[in-house]
Amino acid sequence: MFWAQLHSRVAIDALKVSMHTSVVSLACIVVFGTPVAYLLGTKRFPGRSAIVTLFELPLVLPPAVAGIALFAAFGRFGILGAQLRTVGIELPFTWVAVIMAQSFVALPFFVRQASAGFASIDAHLMGVSRTLGAGSARTFFRVAIPLARQSLSAGAALSWARALGEFGATALFAGSLQGTTQTLPLAIYDQFSAADLDAALAMSALMVAFSAGILAAVKVITRSSSW
Amino acid sequence: MDAPTDKKLSVKVRHRLGRIELSADFEVNGGITALIGPSGAGKTSVLHTIAGLLISDSDSIATESRVLLDTERSINLQPEERRVGMLFQDGALFPHMSVARNVAYGLHPRPRSHRERDARVADLLKRFRIEGLASAKPSRISGGERQRVALARAVATSPEILLLDEPLSALDSVTKGHVSAELSQWLEELGLPSILVSHDFADVVGLADHVAIIEDGHLVQTGSKNDVLRRPASAFAAAFAGINFFPGTAEARGHHTEVRSPDGVVMVSTDTLTGSVGAVIHPWDVSLSLHKPESSAMNLLHGPVLQLSEVGSIVRVTVGSTPPIVAEITAESVERLSLALNRMVYASWKAAATRLVAQDGMV
């Protein structure tokens, strides 16, 4: 009975959308967030704390506000959205909007953890790498990334969990179109509103299991001392 | 740079460092120069500037054959282009790589094949007697072994200069002796101009040929190890060498020179120097007695014994006179005088034992 609920069209579509979007979001977060975290974790420069605050803002911002902000910027009549529309790009209510909402909200989880990881690397190791003939790029890939990999993986897992659970910003900016932008949390809300409590419960149970799995993975990653 | 000289490394550093202005010009002629000074004097900053890890305002650094940095000519080689080998306190080995990988990291020139790389790494491991550790992770090897790996890794880059930042300070005293002797031998074999930063007197005595004293960002004395340690030109250098040092004003008085210290004590010297001076008195030239000595010693201080520390068969006795003075006497003498803490003693020394060094316009 319970499992049958997960075989409904709505649940399967939501699961697919959630998986696709959250994986793409995670990729965006890692690609964009790693260099940012490296700069914030290892360099001291004027304006650094302002940038840190900017990157941490989504942590405390209500997701609905994040959704409104994205809508104001990229919406049909938004500051950037209007310009994009003239070249034929419309972001709201597309799967790209889902990814933007998820990335925006989940990025700080990765950047915080990753920059702490980079900051904890002994500065001598980076210096010695340079004196051994490695340029800054080689030092980044051969020394910084491997030494921060625990923090990077933990940060990635946490931000993935956050992206999967994203609701408010997605609802406002991407809507809840089954098969396109309706992720699991949105489907749960949808089914709940339609008084289909069983379906909502089944999908919720799935998310609980998933979230618990990710948290357990983070614990394992951060506990394993590798060398 | 001026016309090429026969110097192997010349360093000119001018750099604003927080509250101090770093300003040091010196040349290293091969051999090991120890850079010593109080904490925060700028020693490590000098090393980091030479290595290119610290960006400075106005400097020039050149080896015999290459200019590494010349701010006037806008030359500033990146650290990876400088061929400067650096040894850190704990070895700074990459913890995620095996010993062999660490040594292979900076091989210069770059090996053309894996086989060539492995062969060259094997040679280096053998040379530094760490071949048994090739696949070990740095966390599993001892402090002494770690320094050997660090040296092998630095040598693998064919450096032109070696910088040693407190290389022995993370080791326990027993290991330190061994590693210091080993390091000294290897550095001699390598024959590279090297700069050693250390807080430890024994490291400096064991490793250095030359000594440069840096205080508040300025070089105050440079010279051969023996010169600097026997005739320190500053209170820090004297304290480092374990030698008494009293600043004062010198005036000629007949056949002698009288030095008046800021607290009004007058010392007599046979050296002829006037003006601002430092009076250097070697602890082994100071005699102790319980009664006022009848001898020809012209300098006399009186005070309680504050500290007795045995160094082999010699005992260093700190006397709480004004100013306090350290004497080195034999363990037998300590017994004969039945010296104990707080016992009042006379410390005396001859005028010829008061060596004067000029304090303005440093040596």
The answer to whether the CB atoms of A127 and B84 lie below 8 A apart is no
Q: Where are the beta strands (DSSP E) in B145-208?
A: 161-165, 194-197
As to burial, measured by CB atoms within 10 angstroms (0-12 exposed, 13-18 middle, 19+ buried), residue B56 is: buried
The answer to whether the CB atoms of A129 and B94 lie below 8 A apart is yes
B232-266 exposure pattern, b = at least 16 Cβ within 10 A, e = fewer: bbbebbbebbebbbbbbebeeeeebbbbeeeeeee
Of the partner residues A131, A147, A227, the one whose CB lies closest to the CB of residue B51: A131
The answer to whether the CB atoms of B108 and A122 lie below 8 A apart is no
The answer to whether the CB atoms of A147 and B95 lie below 8 A apart is yes
Question: Amino acid identity, residue A171?
Answer: A
CA nearest B356: which of B194, B184, B238, B218?
A: B238
Of the partner residues B51, B108, B139, the one whose CB lies closest to the CB of residue A133: B108
**H/E run at residue B22:** strand B20-28
Mapping DSSP to helix (H, G, I), strand (E, B) and coil, where does residue B354 land?
Answer: coil
Distances (CA, A) of A111 to A34, A60, B148, B195, B302: 7, 15, 37, 40, 67
Question: Amino acid identity, residue B240?
Answer: F
Retrieve residue A173's tokens.
């900016």
Of the partner residues B92, B96, B139, the one whose CB lies closest to the CB of residue A124: B92
pLDDT for A226: 55
Gap between the Cα atoms of A131 and A123, Å rounded:
13
**Each residue's pLDDT tens digit, B222-280:** 999 888 888 888 888 888 888 899 989 999 998 899 999 988 899 999 998 899 998 99
The answer to whether the CB atoms of B105 and A132 lie below 8 A apart is yes
The answer to whether the CB atoms of A147 and B84 lie below 8 A apart is no
Q: Are B306 and B288 in contact (CB under 8 A)?
A: no
Residue written as token pair 């959308």: A17
* Predicted model pTM: 0.79
Say if residue B295's pLDDT is above 80. no
Mean pLDDT across chain B:
88
Gap between the Cα atoms of B136 and B217, Å rounded:
41
**Each residue's pLDDT tens digit, A168-216:** 999 999 999 999 999 999 999 999 999 889 989 999 999 999 889 988 9
Gap between the Cα atoms of A152 and A175, Å rounded:
31
**Each residue's pLDDT tens digit, B212-223:** 999 888 898 999
Q: Are A74 and A100 in contact (CB under 8 A)?
A: yes
Gap between the Cα atoms of A53 and A57, Å rounded:
6
Q: Are B282 and B329 in contact (CB under 8 A)?
A: no
How many helices (DSSP H) and strands (DSSP E) are in chain B? Answer: 9, 21
Retrieve residue B176's tokens.
């330190």
Mapping DSSP to helix (H, G, I), strand (E, B) and coil, where does residue B275 land?
Answer: strand
Of the partner residues A128, A143, A147, the one whose CB lies closest to the CB of residue B86: A128
Q: Are B95 and B153 in contact (CB under 8 A)?
A: no
B207-B211-B212 Cα angle (round to 5): 140
Question: Amino acid identity, residue B107?
Answer: L
Complex ipTM tops 0.90: no
Chain B residue at shortest CA distance from A148: B96
Residue B201: pLDDT band with limits 50, 70, 90: confident
A40-A46-A47 Cα angle (round to 5): 70
Between strands B210-215 and B32-36, the pairing is: parallel
Mapping DSSP to helix (H, G, I), strand (E, B) and coil, where does residue A216 land?
Answer: helix
Gap between the Cα atoms of B56 and B76, Å rounded:
10
Mapping DSSP to helix (H, G, I), strand (E, B) and coil, where does residue B148 land?
Answer: helix
Q: Are A110 and A37 in contact (CB under 8 A)?
A: yes
**Stretch among A192-201, A205-214, B5-14, B202-211 having the lowest mean pLDDT:** B5-14
**Each residue's pLDDT tens digit, B104-161:** 999 999 999 999 999 999 999 999 999 999 999 999 999 889 999 999 999 999 999 9
Distances (CA, A) of A6 to A13, A184, A204, B90: 10, 11, 10, 57
Size of interface A-B (CB pairs under 8 A): 64
Mapping DSSP to helix (H, G, I), strand (E, B) and coil, where does residue A7 land?
Answer: coil
Mapping DSSP to helix (H, G, I), strand (E, B) and coil, where does residue A143 land?
Answer: helix
**Each residue's pLDDT tens digit, A46-105:** 999 999 999 999 999 999 999 999 999 998 888 888 888 888 888 888 999 999 999 999
Chain A residue at shortest CA distance from B96: A227
Kindly state whether A147 is in contact with chain B, defined as any CB-CB distance less than 8 angstroms. Answer: yes
Residue B3: pLDDT band with limits 50, 70, 90: very low
Mean predicted confidence (pLDDT) in B286-309: 90
A89-A106-A57 Cα angle (round to 5): 95
Question: Amino acid identity, residue B155?
Answer: V
Gap between the Cα atoms of B350 and B287, Å rounded:
9
**H/E run at residue B76:** strand B75-76
Retrieve residue B257's tokens.
């020179």
Question: Amino acid identity, residue A23?
Answer: V
